[in-house]
Amino acid sequence: MIRLRDKMAEDLRLRGRAPITIRAYVRWAQRFAEHFGVSPAKLGEGDVRAFVLHQVEERGISPATHTVCLAALKFLYSVTLNRPEVMARIPFPKVPVKLPEILSGSEVQRLLGCVTSIRCRVICTLAYGAGLRVTEACRLKPGDIDADRGLVHVRGGKGSRDREVVLGKKLLGLLREYWKIARPEGSYLFPGDVSGEPITRQAVYLALKEAARAARIRKRVTPHILRHSFATHLLEMGANLRTIQVVLGHSQVGTTVRYVRVARGHIAGLTTPLDVLGTKEGEVLG
């Protein structure tokens, strides 16, 4: 499996997949091989079905994880092993569409104030203040901060797309404070423990989890909740969906539309038809 694993990782890199995707796909291929104790090259459709059912029924993986598992095995057989027929009749699960968890403005303030590491606090502030994904924030380089134009350049975001996002005054001030204190060395603005590598998303997640506990926030707090909150608060402040789509780097506006469903101003501000029946305003209803 070692040689096959290397070839799969190479195939993924050749197709420009993100490092996090490569690690996830190769890990699922490895689990699949270890489950049966033989190379996937010697296995087929029935084995894939048995493995996936075991993951769903015995290990209780979520529909989202189920999808990643199948995507990894589909890539393994369709590309690396050139046997697309193995996965042709295996269906993908229907993933439930859930509303994103959102923090209020006061909760965001409390949360960010409880992040003890200035490095992680700046990253989390970037996630909320500029709507960055945590991996995008972690991999920023000093040259990506354009203080003169008030922009942050995001290089190679999801889907290998570059974009520019706003750099507010408070965020710029925090970045300058961080630079004076940390004086980061190397290519990355937020270097990690491994020389030449940026801080890991896991390190940020753990710091934020501890901050949520200290701030006594009972919602499920992850770095991504800050990005969700950024988008929802922008909408509540009057920004249009197209602008938010561009800032977030969504390829489809349908991905952005879900924030309408959690923005208080768009839902709580609606007038129900029942309240206007029998009034002058209700005449338009006939």
**Whole-number Å distance between alpha carbons of 263 and 268:** 8
Q: Report which secondary-structure segment, H or E, holds 194.
A: none
- Chain-centroid distance of CA 15 in Å reads 20
Q: What confidence tens digit (pLDDT) does each residue in 187-226 have? A: 999 999 888 899 999 999 999 999 999 999 998 898 889 9
Q: What confidence tens digit (pLDDT) does each residue in 133-177 have? A: 899 999 999 999 998 888 888 887 666 678 888 888 888 999 999
The two beta strands, 163-166 and 151-154, are antiparallel
Q: Where along the chain do the CATH 1.10.150.130 domains lie? A: 2-86
pLDDT, residue 277, reads 47
Q: Which fold has domain 105-267?
A: hpI Integrase; Chain A (1.10.443)
Task: Calculate the alpha carbon distances from 72 to 13, 28, 49, 79, 239 in Å.
Answer: 14, 6, 14, 10, 37
State the alpha helices, DSSP H only, in the chain.
2-14, 19-36, 45-53, 63-75, 105-113, 118-129, 134-138, 169-182, 201-214, 223-236, 241-248, 253-257, 264-267
- Mean predicted confidence (pLDDT) in 35-57: 95
Q: Using CB atoms within 10 Å of the CB of residue 155, give its burial: 0 to 12 exposed, 13 to 18 middle, 19+ buried.
A: middle
Q: What confidence tens digit (pLDDT) does each residue in 88-122 have? A: 999 999 877 777 788 888 899 999 999 999 999 99
Q: Please, are residues 262 and 219 in contact by the beta-carbon 8 Å criterion?
A: no
pTM tops 0.95, yes or no: no
Query: pLDDT band for position 272 (50/70/90)?
Result: very low
**Whole-number Å distance between alpha carbons of 136 and 223:** 11
CATH for 2-86 is 1.10.150.130
Task: Please give the DSSP secondary-structure letter assigned to residue 199.
Answer: P
**Buried/exposed 67-94: b ≥16 CB within 10 Å, e otherwise:** ebbbbbbbbbbebbbebeebbeeeeebe
Catalytic annotation, residues: 133, 158, 224, 227, 250, 259
Q: Pick the closest to residue 226 from 149, 162, 131, 161 (CA basis).
A: 131
pLDDT, residue 268, reads 47
Q: In percent, how much of the chain has pLDDT > 90?
A: 53
pLDDT, residue 266, reads 47
- Mean predicted confidence (pLDDT) in 245-263: 64
- Mean predicted confidence (pLDDT) in 3-15: 93
As given in the structure block, the two tokens for residue 12 are 């993924």
Q: In percent, how much of the chain has pLDDT > 70?
A: 85
Q: Where along the chain do the CATH 1.10.443.10 domains lie? A: 105-267
- Mean predicted confidence (pLDDT) in 40-58: 95
Q: Using CB atoms within 10 Å of the CB of residue 104, give its burial: 0 to 12 exposed, 13 to 18 middle, 19+ buried.
A: middle
**Whole-number Å distance between alpha carbons of 25 and 15:** 13
